[in-house]
Amino acid sequence: MRDKAPREQLHSVCHIHAGMSHAGGPLIRFALKDSGKLAGFHFLQIGEGRQPRDLVTAFSSAPEKLPYLCKKFSSPEEILRHAQSIRRGIESGIHAAAGRSVIMVEETLPTMPVEELMALRDFLASRFQSIRLVVHLRAPSASMACEFQKRLLGPKLPVPMGKLFPRYHGQLEKLDSVFGRDAVIVRKCDSPQQGMEDFFQLLGVPSPSGGVREATQVLSLEATALMFAFRKFSGVPADVKRDRMLMRELRRFGKGVFEIPADVRKRVLDRQSAGMAWVDSRLGGRLEEELPAAVPPSVASLTDLLALSVTAAHKLIAQKPGGFTTSIPQPHTPREAAQVVKDFANSLHGTVEPRAGSRKDAVCYVHVGMAKTGTTSIQHALRSCGSDPSFVYLDIGPPNHGRMIFSLFAKSPERHPYYRKIGWPIEKVHRYVLKMRAAFENALAANGSRRFIISGEAITMLKKEELTDFKAFLDRFFGRVQIVAYVRDPKSYMESIFQQRLKGYALPKEFSNVYPSYVRKLRKFDQVFGADHLIFRKFDPASFPQRDVVLDFCRLLEITLAGYQSTRRNESLPLEAVALLYAFRTYGGKLGAGRLAMTRNKEMIEALGQLEGAKLSISYRKVEEVVHERREDLEWLEKRTGMSFGKIPSIDVTDSVETLDALLAHSMEGARKLITRFGHRFKTSEPRPETPQQAAKVLSDFALTLGRDID
């Protein structure tokens, strides 16, 4: 049986603002609480907080299973007692209304199961003459954007944008079926403020002013990007009190309006077209109007939103709200932007957290080559044989870390030659950078060793300001950073790097173009890291243990490699092979594109290495000429290192070359040796090459037979 209600109560109306989300519910609640008594109405709220959920709690068939109550109470018994208390409070509140109409605000009411809604309906029908539900709907795009920002405060990251679509159809149809279509008033609103004003207009009373303060609690696009990066990468659990404080501060920051991207809106609305047609019919008009494409700044995906966080972090640092300081003065990735926000959040609490993963006694050794000083041998040995517990060799990607480090800290990572070779678009390069930056930071944070080693000659390609960012990044994790550079004399360097560049698709125009340029490559390390943080070693195999640069490097760092066996990598090509490769590059030899081209090139170089003959030697007269033109460069190196590099043998070996034309003259012999060695594997249109062009054609015919294992 229904409980009997006072006779006068049956002449009143129960008004329930039933949401939906982001349509003014909290504003109405705050306005009613702040305005005191509203003539002719009684505002009923038992629970405390921004969203007390009185009706959901009181009429749930299993309140002990409601997640928000499970977090608040320690046992099912406590939850049941709380639910019963709320039910009694509602009873008392209705009685206290003394004939006045009652207002309740319950934006989660549409989520209640049908049987619980029916129990609520029966309870209210026995106490009021009529029940009226008011439901305000925000357009899907606005509702989804608000829900995304709301979830930045929750324990879980916001799901992909398309999954935030409100369940208008199912929830409205449920309310209609339980309370009757005439009892459910459905209205459209464009903002929480408008929803509040429309609700009070429906009641026939002036809108109270108390809730207006909440109407602008929306993050800008840039602030949303920062908060999303913080929640995704900061590594700290959700803390509603802290995050609310942070969001309150960020509401004053940034520009742009966070909107659901146009393509996401269209995709979701197309998928929900049947349900939206029902909603539009129920509403008596279109809920989602045609919206123009978002104007910049705007985002097309969560990836774009994360990318925007980097720019926003720079702006936050420049504005220095509250005078905060950060351990990442030059953020490059969303993960680093998250650290900036974390430092800002800590400043709001007046706390500073220690640097994650840092060790005061840890040294990071950054081996930067130079090129052609046994770098590849060192890298492969450290990666494959590293067993000394006193050191860690960075185990991300290939053993040569140069391209990765360059990509992470260069302002334009796409300028690295590798990406041009393989044909990566800029977008793919930037996706790679995001992925590797996270992996790099995780590896450094996880380090527990006193010695951490990074090796890559491409690090010398970084500009001074880019090296400064690299240093700042490393300083977060290590007490000291030490640069190690092996340096080779000009003549042997020029001979070795000339053919190395030919192997890598380049075409030097002059021997002078392959001079080492010591100042350009090395002085910036002095300027950024400090002279006492730079170790120079002369590349002189005669002075190394067993003539092995790997053993010399290990001796320098005081580490051991168990099971290491000396091997030579990137061996020099014979003179005729270098000449043939130079002719091939000069006269337009083709290898295809992308992965196939890279595979063919690798196999072609390996084949040329099997030809026999003397090594390339540039005549001493040519080297002297080049060194004389750059004598200030060499003088700087010798003064800086205290070592001599300028002594050039004055006697040439047989077949020394002084010009590139002289080098080309050896290409025909190289082609004949290739035919002799591999003629059983390919056919050529130039079986008796007499010119460099014909020699190039021989190698081109051979190259086209390679790479057959590539799909």
Q: How confident is the model at residue 118 (pLDDT cuts 50, 70, 90)?
A: very high
Average pLDDT over residues 613-621: 92
Residues 266-309: tens digit of each pLDDT = 888 888 889 999 999 999 999 887 655 554 556 677 788 888 99
Q: Could you tell me how far CA 516 lies from the centroid of its own chain?
A: 36
Nearest Cα to Cα of residue 516 among 541, 536, 490, 554: 490
Cα–Cα distances (Å) from 470 to 339, 354, 360, 388, 517, in that order, read: 16, 20, 18, 26, 22
Q: How many CA atoms lie within 13 A of 607 on its CB side?
A: 26
Q: What pLDDT does residue 604 have?
A: 94
Alpha helices in 165-215 (DSSP H): 168-179, 192-203
Q: How confident is the model at residue 257 (pLDDT cuts 50, 70, 90)?
A: confident
Q: How confident is the model at residue 51 (pLDDT cuts 50, 70, 90)?
A: low
How far apart, in whole angstroms, are the C-alpha atoms of residue 294 and residue 121?
Answer: 43
Residue 490 clears pLDDT 60, i.e. is over it: yes
Q: What pLDDT does residue 214 have?
A: 43
Six token digits for residue 140? 């899907």
More confident residue, 30 or 656: 656
How far apart, in whole angstroms, are the C-alpha atoms of residue 595 and residue 605?
Answer: 16
Say which residues have a Cβ less than 8 Å from residue 411's Cβ, sequence separation at least 6. Answer: 463, 466
Residue 38 clears pLDDT 80, i.e. is over it: no
How far apart, in whole angstroms, are the C-alpha atoms of residue 583 and residue 486?
Answer: 31
How far apart, in whole angstroms, are the C-alpha atoms of residue 260 and residue 143?
Answer: 9
CB-based burial, 119-147: b 16+ in 10 Å, e otherwise: bbbebbbebbeebbbbbbbbbbbbbbbbb
Confirm if 561 and 550 have CB atoms less than 8 A apart. Answer: yes
Q: How confident is the model at residue 641 (pLDDT cuts 50, 70, 90)?
A: very high
Q: What pLDDT does residue 307 have?
A: 87
**Is 357 in a helix, a strand, or coil?**
coil
Average pLDDT over residues 108-123: 93
Confirm if 600 and 707 have CB atoms less than 8 A apart. Answer: yes
Among the ranges given (162-166, 397-401, 615-619), the one the predictor scored with the smallest mean pLDDT = 162-166
Would the CATH topology of 8-214 be identical to that of 359-557?
A: yes
More confident residue, 250 or 664: 664
Confirm if 101 and 13 have CB atoms less than 8 A apart. Answer: yes
- Average pLDDT in the chain: 85
Residue 216 clears pLDDT 50, i.e. is over it: no
Confirm if 476 and 423 have CB atoms less than 8 A apart. Answer: no
Q: How confident is the model at residue 342 (pLDDT cuts 50, 70, 90)?
A: confident
DSSP 565: -
Residue 674 clears pLDDT 80, i.e. is over it: yes
Six token digits for residue 548? 């092995």
How would DSSP label each residue in 93-154?
HHHHTTTSEEEEE-TTGGGS-HHHHHHHHHHHHTT-SEEEEEEEE--HHHHHHHHHHHHTTS
What fold characterizes domain 359-557? Rossmann fold (3.40.50)
Average pLDDT over residues 114-141: 93
Dihedrals phi, psi of 455, to nearest 5 degrees = -140, 130
Cα–Cα distances (Å) from 565 to 376, 381, 568, in that order, read: 14, 9, 10
More confident residue, 217 or 417: 417
Confirm if 243 and 344 have CB atoms less than 8 A apart. Answer: no
Q: How confident is the model at residue 485 (pLDDT cuts 50, 70, 90)?
A: very high
More confident residue, 591 or 663: 663
Say which residues have a Cβ less than 8 Å from residue 105's Cβ, sequence separation at least 6. Answer: 16, 17, 25, 28, 29, 32, 45
Residue 194 clears pLDDT 70, i.e. is over it: yes
**DSSP bridge partners of 15:** 103, 132
Q: How confident is the model at residue 34 (pLDDT cuts 50, 70, 90)?
A: low
Q: What pLDDT does residue 44 have?
A: 83
Domain layout of the chain by residue ranges: 8-214, 221-259+294-349, 359-557, 575-617+653-703
Q: What pLDDT does residue 35 have?
A: 55
Q: What pLDDT does residue 351 have?
A: 41
Residues 517-543: tens digit of each pLDDT = 999 999 999 999 999 999 999 999 999
Residues 349-361: tens digit of each pLDDT = 544 343 444 455 7
Query: Does the reported pTM lie above 0.95?
Result: no
More confident residue, 4 or 436: 436
How far apart, in whole angstroms, are the C-alpha atoms of residue 622 and residue 511?
Answer: 8
Residue 211 clears pLDDT 60, i.e. is over it: no
Q: How confident is the model at residue 235 (pLDDT cuts 50, 70, 90)?
A: low
- For the chain, give the percent of residues with pLDDT over 70: 88
Q: What pLDDT does residue 2 have?
A: 42
Residues 453-478: tens digit of each pLDDT = 999 999 999 999 999 999 988 988 89
**Is 177 in a helix, a strand, or coil?**
helix
Residue 77 clears pLDDT 90, i.e. is over it: no
How far apart, in whole angstroms, are the C-alpha atoms of residue 291 and residue 304?
Answer: 20
Q: How confident is the model at residue 135 (pLDDT cuts 50, 70, 90)?
A: very high
Cα–Cα distances (Å) from 423 to 214, 400, 706, in that order, read: 51, 20, 20
Q: What pLDDT does residue 150 have?
A: 81
Residue 106 clears pLDDT 70, i.e. is over it: yes
Among the ranges given (204-218, 331-345, 369-383, 447-461), the one the predictor scored with the smallest mean pLDDT = 204-218
Q: What pLDDT does residue 402 have?
A: 96
Dihedrals phi, psi of 9, to nearest 5 degrees = -65, -30
State which of 124-128, 395-399, 402-406, 560-564 shows the largest mean pLDDT. Answer: 402-406
User: CA angle, corner 91, sides to 85 and 97, nearest 5?
Assistant: 135
Radius of gyration of the chain from its Cα atoms, rounded to whole angstroms: 36
Please tell me the total number of residues recorded for the chain in this structure. Answer: 711
More confident residue, 445 or 3: 445
Among the ranges given (31-35, 58-62, 501-505), the one the predictor scored with the smallest mean pLDDT = 31-35
Confirm if 646 and 634 have CB atoms less than 8 A apart. Answer: yes
What fold characterizes domain 8-214? Rossmann fold (3.40.50)
Average pLDDT over residues 232-245: 64
Average pLDDT over residues 585-613: 88
Cα–Cα distances (Å) from 301 to 146, 258, 271, 339, 428, in that order, read: 16, 11, 18, 22, 15
Confirm if 670 and 611 have CB atoms less than 8 A apart. Answer: yes
Average pLDDT over residues 596-605: 90
- For the chain, give the percent of residues with pLDDT over 90: 45
Six token digits for residue 527? 């300027």
State which of 18-22, 255-259, 680-684 shows the largest mean pLDDT. Answer: 680-684
Q: Could you tell me how far CA 679 lies from the centroid of its own chain?
A: 51
How far apart, in whole angstroms, are the C-alpha atoms of residue 153 and residue 230?
Answer: 11
Dihedrals phi, psi of 207, to nearest 5 degrees = -75, 120
